[in-house]
Each structure stands twice: as structure tokens, then as C-alpha cells.
Chains A and B, each alone.
Chain A
Amino acid sequence: MTAADPFARFRMATRARIGLGRCGDALPTAALLDFQLAHARARDAVHSQADFAAVAAAVAPHPAVEVSSAAADRSIYLRRPDLGRRLDDDSRARLAALPRPETPWDIVFVVGDGLSATAVSAHAAAAFAACRAHLPEDWTVGPLVLARQARVALGDDAAHALGARMVAMLIGERPGLSVADSLGIYLTLDPHAARLESERNCISNIHANGLSYDEAGFKLAWLAAEGRRRGVTGIDLKDEAPPLLAARAEPPKLG
């Protein structure tokens, strides 16, 4: 756009592709290729492999274990959401065979590639670290489960196999043209395969221009502690966490 761009004063207010200009009725070349680049990145986010080895290395020495859903590949995964919601039998058996503490894990974290491997590779390890930092110190945290071809409900299956009291599923969200690497976190108390979507709390939009790791971790820890105290997650547990900055601020001194 030239200095005479009539939309200049609007561009701070929206990321919409306004005022692109016209060649006849068509897009100028720069705008055409800019769109194609954004679409290519979104498609790559859907179809690439999450780098779970890097996630496992980043969270070490916390133990991590890789599993797969019952959807054998991405093509099946996209057509069969039911298969992406459960572990393959081998994965479930391996999780069930892992050593358990005497009392069940307070919480287990599952990382699922979901619809954006890019989001998982970029944000999962840091989001996990931030969540752990905000959780009560005495909570036991099970091994990090890294799940391929996974949908949200797979977290329930994995956590049930591990015998955990609560699960936080970190999963790549469906990419848009403006953000291809957005991570979401879904929290479920007493996870098992018959849990409904309405029984989860969701923290979404974790990416460079969205929610920070620290904010996400703070929210997750608040919901986890409140959910456990009230014995419920989902629509009956509203996110009433105070803003992070306010929670950190010193209480005003009287007098």
C-alpha cells in the first residue's frame, strides 16, 4: 500500500484483509501471495508431525511417554473423530503398566497434536512448565503423555489408564489464517471415557499474540484447585480466577 492508503487509519483496528486494492476485479500479486502463505502455514500446521522428542527433552527430567490414538494416520484422523478420541490398545496397555504412586496422581498432563502440530511444537513444553509452576506444591503430577492423532477426549482415556484424579489436555487448536499455532488446554475432573464436553473447562488462544504461558498456567491452576475443592469441572465451574496481575499485587496496606 502507498502512503495514500485510504484504509490506513483503520488498520490498527482490525486484522481483516481490508483495502487490498484491485487489478481489474482481482487481487494484486502481493495480496494474493500473502493469502497463499497464510493458508500454506495453516495447512502445514494440520499435516506436519509434532516434535514430541523436543517436547520430552524440554520437560526433562519430568518423565514423558509417547502414545497414539486409534486413528492410524492423519487422513483417518480427519475423517474419524471417534478414533482420535481414544487410545490404541497398545498405548492404553503401556500407560496402565507404568508404575503408580500409592495414592492416585493429583493431575496428569496430556499433550495432543490435535489440529496444529505447530502449536504443540512451539508452546506445549512452556505451557506445561507454567502450569506446574502455578499448581500447589504438594500436588503429584503424573508422567507427561504425548499423544499423536489425538482429539480432546483422548486425555480422559489416557488419564483413566494412569489412574489420575484430573487431566489437563494441551492440544493444538484448528488453525486460522491469522494464527496457525494456537494451543488450548482442557481440564477434566475424574476423567473416564464417558465424560461429556460440558464436563470440561477450556482455556484457549495460547500463542504469541494471545494468552501468555504464565496467564494460562495461572488460570489452569486456579480451575484445577477450585474444581477439586468443589468436586466438579465444566459448565458448573465458572472461570472466576482474578486477573493474574491483581492476584500477584501486594494487598493495599491499611493506615
Chain B
Amino acid sequence: MSLYACTLGATRHVFDGLAALMACASPRRSGDELAGIAADTDERRVAARLALADLPLTAFLDEPLIPYETDEVTRLIADTHDRAAFAPVASMTVGGFREWLLSDAATPRALAALAPGLTPEMAAAASKLMRNADLMAVAAKCRVVSAFRTTLGLPGRLGSRLQPNHPTDDPTGIAAAVIDGLLFGMGDAVIGINPATDSPAACIALLEMLDAVRRKFDIPCQSCVLTHVTNSIACIERGAPVDLVFQSIAGTEGANAGFGINLAVLQEAREAALSLKRGTVGDNVMYFETGQGSALSADAHCGVDQQTCEARAHAVARAFSPMLVNTVVGFIGPEYLYDAKQIIRAGLEDHFCGKLLGVPMGVDVCYTNHAEADQDDMDTLATLLASCGVNFLIGVPGADDVMLSYQSLSFHDILGLRHRLNLKPCPEFHAWLERMGMLDAEGHLPPPAAGNGAMRRLFAIGD
């Protein structure tokens, strides 16, 4: 293992290995402190960044943070690394790479071509040298497009997941939240339910209900029941209408084992979903959720900081050509991201790293009641993300998820962002909203007049 050092005045800061250097260079956050790997002074944090800035990018190819022999995520990263795509930046240091990313030379086309040549550790390292504005500036230049029945990630668009959860999966309660969301133009990324009951039979009932709604109103959208990947495979075997297959994923083999998955079962699930050929404008069939802290909470972070572990999770996602990936950034709690400052920073980092690696990144802008955050902070993060091209955001009725007991964005919030920033839903869904008579001449979605056509039709959802 290499030693890295930076001398500042009379103090020589030494970092024992690349993982330690990366952890010390990370912005302060409670999860890395809990793991005992964070810089213990602010000076040491900047010393780590100074050392990191001078490090050649190739160091990450020479010294894996988690050994190749013991971790299949490291093997995936190393074995799929595209040396030809990496060539344009191969001679750069991390500091030089940051400057290149921010320069006009890093066009959307150049960044898209570079993505397969970047490892998650390179993306994470660059992010540790960036301010929030840098993260946004580069992310805004990265376009990652995915498609199933709608096309997400196009310029000038902001997608939304309609999340109609219910604590007992009550079909009427879920239908009510779906109607509410559709009236706000939500659901173009996915209508996705976190089920309260995880059995295949219960999931099939929800899948059939969502599919019936989609067909009844001829909505160009995809549905998903966010159950374990093995349940989704079982649902597909029983002939259920599965559009997207969901799974929570993490950046180490051990943390994925904690989720009860490995790369092989993700591949099996993808093939099962592809075999149904349900997509109309594309065949991206996977939906992944990630979040900083998941590896530490599974006691499987291998001494690697939580932001780098998160970028490694994006590399896992990338291998399966997903339709949707989102970080559930504030869900995990204050022992990993203590307050709104840490949540906002982490949301921007995750979006940046995902996009840079070529992942169709969305964000669940959210917090729990024991974190130092509130809806004002979510306004801030959502606005920052929408301003730099996030593929989609998650909306729940009134921002209050009554099933998972946390707060996300409301349908109001996402619609307001679309209107203020002049962003539209994805094109197929936008056309549907027009057909339903829900848009005005500017393409905005005003409050529906009582008894208008769309309201009457949607409220007949269960009839």
C-alpha cells in the first residue's frame, strides 16, 4: 500500500493508502466520522485534497481501493474499464482532470465518450476537489438518455416518479394518490410503489392494478413495484406485467450481499425483464436506488468513504443499462448525513458522479425527522438539481410518505420547478397531457377547473 503525504508549514500530513487519502479529502460528514476514517481537522482535510490534486488518475487503476480478489464490484470496474475511452485524460492528475471537466473542452459529446473510460473512484476523486457549483456545472453538461415507454434525460426536460405508497397497499388509497399525481403531470419517469407486503402475490396484485390504469388511460409511462429483485423474477415467471425491475444496490460486494443480491442475479433479472419486450421506445428495464452510507450500515465499507462507495454503486448500475437510477439521499438518517448541508452536498455529488459515469441519474430529495433538515432545504436541493439537468425527481402527495415515514418532494414542488425553470415532462408524456387537455397554450399545467374533462376521466379510475 502506498503512503501519500502533504507538508504544510511544520506539519507533515501522511495518509496510509489511497482509501485513507480519499476519506480524508471528503467534505465532512457524519458517516465517515462514525466509520472513524474522516479527517480529524479541517487542515488535514485540505492537506488530503492537496495531495489528491497531484495524484495521477492512473493511480486508481494501479491501486484498487478494495482488492480485486475479494470484491466482485472491483472486478466489474477493472474488467470493464475502457482504456481507449480513457486515453484523452490518461495523463492528467486529479486536479488537472477537475479543470478539464470545467473547461469548454469538456463538451457534452466529449463527456459522453469519456464515461466508459472513467472508474467510479476517478469520478469521486474529482468531486472531492469541487465546490457545489462545480458539481452542477459539469453535471449540466452530461446528458444520459434512457427509454422504455418514455424517453428520459433529454435537454429541457424534468422527469418525475409518482410514488403513491400506502401503509397497507390499499388499492383505493393507492389509486387516489395516482390520480392526484397525474393531475400534476407526474409519473413520466415511473409510477413506482414501495409495497408494504413483499410477497410475490401481493406485488402481482399491485402490478396488475397499475397496468390496468396505464392501459385504461393509454398513458405513456412505465410502472414498477419496488420489491426485491428475486420477487420480481418470481412475478415475471408467473406472467405478471413487469415493466421495470427494481433493486437497491451498493458499492461493495459485502453490502450487496446484505441486500441479498450479487451481479449475477441482477443480470438474471435484466434478462427476464427484457424477455417480456414491454418497452415501446427503448429497452432500459432496470431501476436502481442507491444512497451514501449503505455500505457502512451493512458493515461492509472496507475502509472506503461513503461517497466513493456510492460512486461504486453507480458503476454497478451502469453495467445493467438502467432506465432509472436515483440516490435516496436523505433517507438513511443523521448518523450518515447529519444535516441539510450534508444532504444537499451529497445529493449534488451523487448526481454529478452518476452522470459523469453515464448513469441516468435522478434524486429522491428527502429527509427524515431526526435529521436537521426541513422542507425549505428540500426546496434548495431540488432547485439546484433541476437547474443542472437531473433526469427525474420523486414526488409523493404533500411531500409526506405515509408508508415509509419520511419526507420527499410534493407534486406541487416538481410542477413548480418545471414552470419556473421552463422544463417539460418527457416528450411522450407531455403529448399525453396535451391529449388529456391538461396544458395551456404555453405548455404549462394550470390548476384544473372543477369538472374538467381530465378530472372527470381520471376520477373514473376505479369504475
B370–A15 touching, CB < 8 Å? no
Residues of A within 8 A of B338 (CB): 78-79
Residues of B within 8 A of A179 (CB): 405
* CB < 8 Å neighbour of B459 from A6, A15, A21, A46: A6
B177–A14 touching, CB < 8 Å? yes
| Chain A nearest Cβ from B175, distance in angstroms | 7
Query: B410 contacts the other chain (Cβ, under 8 Å)?
Result: yes
| Chain B nearest Cβ from A198, distance in angstroms | 12
Residues of B within 8 A of A26 (CB): 412, 416
Residues of A within 8 A of B412 (CB): 20, 22, 25-27
Complex Cα gap A6–B454 (Å): 12
Residues of B within 8 A of A6 (CB): 450, 455, 459
A79–B33 touching, CB < 8 Å? yes
Complex Cα gap A34–B41 (Å): 42
* CB < 8 Å neighbour of B405 from A13, A17, A176: A176
Query: B54 contacts the other chain (Cβ, under 8 Å)?
Result: no
Residues of B within 8 A of A45 (CB): 369
A18–B397 touching, CB < 8 Å? yes
| Chain B nearest Cβ from A5, distance in angstroms | 10
A10-B399 contact in complex given A26-B416, A27-B410, A46-B370, C-beta closer than 8 Å: no
Residues of A within 8 A of B33 (CB): 79
Interface residues of B in 22-76 (CB under 8 A from A): 30, 33-34
The listed residue with most B CB atoms (<10 A of its CB), out of A4, A6, A20, is A6
Residues of B within 8 A of A115 (CB): 370
Query: B334 contacts the other chain (Cβ, under 8 Å)?
Result: yes
Interface residues of A in 27-69 (CB under 8 A from B): 27, 31, 35, 38-39, 42-43, 45-46
Complex Cα gap A179–B404 (Å): 12
A39–B398 touching, CB < 8 Å? no
* CB < 8 Å neighbour of A174 from B174, B335, B399, B405: B405
How would residues 213 to 232 of chain A score, 1 for a CB under 8 Å from any chain B CB and 0 otherwise?
A: 00000000000000000000
| Chain B nearest Cβ from A191, distance in angstroms | 21
A177–B407 touching, CB < 8 Å? yes
Residues of B within 8 A of A80 (CB): 34, 335
How would residues 111 to 137 of chain A score, 1 for a CB under 8 Å from any chain B CB and 0 otherwise?
A: 000010000000000000000000000
The listed residue with most B CB atoms (<10 A of its CB), out of A16, A18, A31, is A16
Complex Cα gap A19–B179 (Å): 9
A178-B173 contact in complex given A35-B375, A46-B370, A78-B334, C-beta closer than 8 Å: no
Residues of B within 8 A of A176 (CB): 369, 402, 405-406
How would residues 151 to 189 of chain A score, 1 for a CB under 8 Å from any chain B CB and 0 otherwise?
A: 000000000000000000000001111111000000000
B170–A14 touching, CB < 8 Å? yes
B176–A13 touching, CB < 8 Å? yes
Query: A81 contacts the other chain (Cβ, under 8 Å)?
Result: yes
* CB < 8 Å neighbour of A16 from B34, B166, B370, B407: B166
Residues of A within 8 A of B239 (CB): none
* CB < 8 Å neighbour of B172 from A10, A21, A35: A10
Q: What residue of chain A has the Cβ atom nearest to residue B403's Cβ?
A: A16
Query: A7 contacts the other chain (Cβ, under 8 Å)?
Result: yes
| Chain A nearest Cβ from B251, distance in angstroms | 21
Residues of A within 8 A of B167 (CB): 15
Residues of B within 8 A of A21 (CB): 447
Interface residues, chain B, CB within 8 Å of chain A?
30, 33-34, 164-167, 170, 172-177, 179-180, 334-335, 338, 368-370, 374-375, 396-400, 402, 405-407, 410, 412, 415-416, 419, 447, 450, 455, 459
Report 25 cross-chain contacts, Cβ distance below 8 Å, ordered by A residue. A4-B450, A6-B455, A10-B172, A11-B176, A13-B176, A15-B402, A16-B166, A17-B400, A17-B410, A18-B177, A24-B416, A25-B415, A27-B410, A31-B398, A35-B399, A35-B400, A38-B400, A79-B34, A79-B335, A80-B34, A174-B369, A175-B370, A177-B402, A178-B400, A178-B405
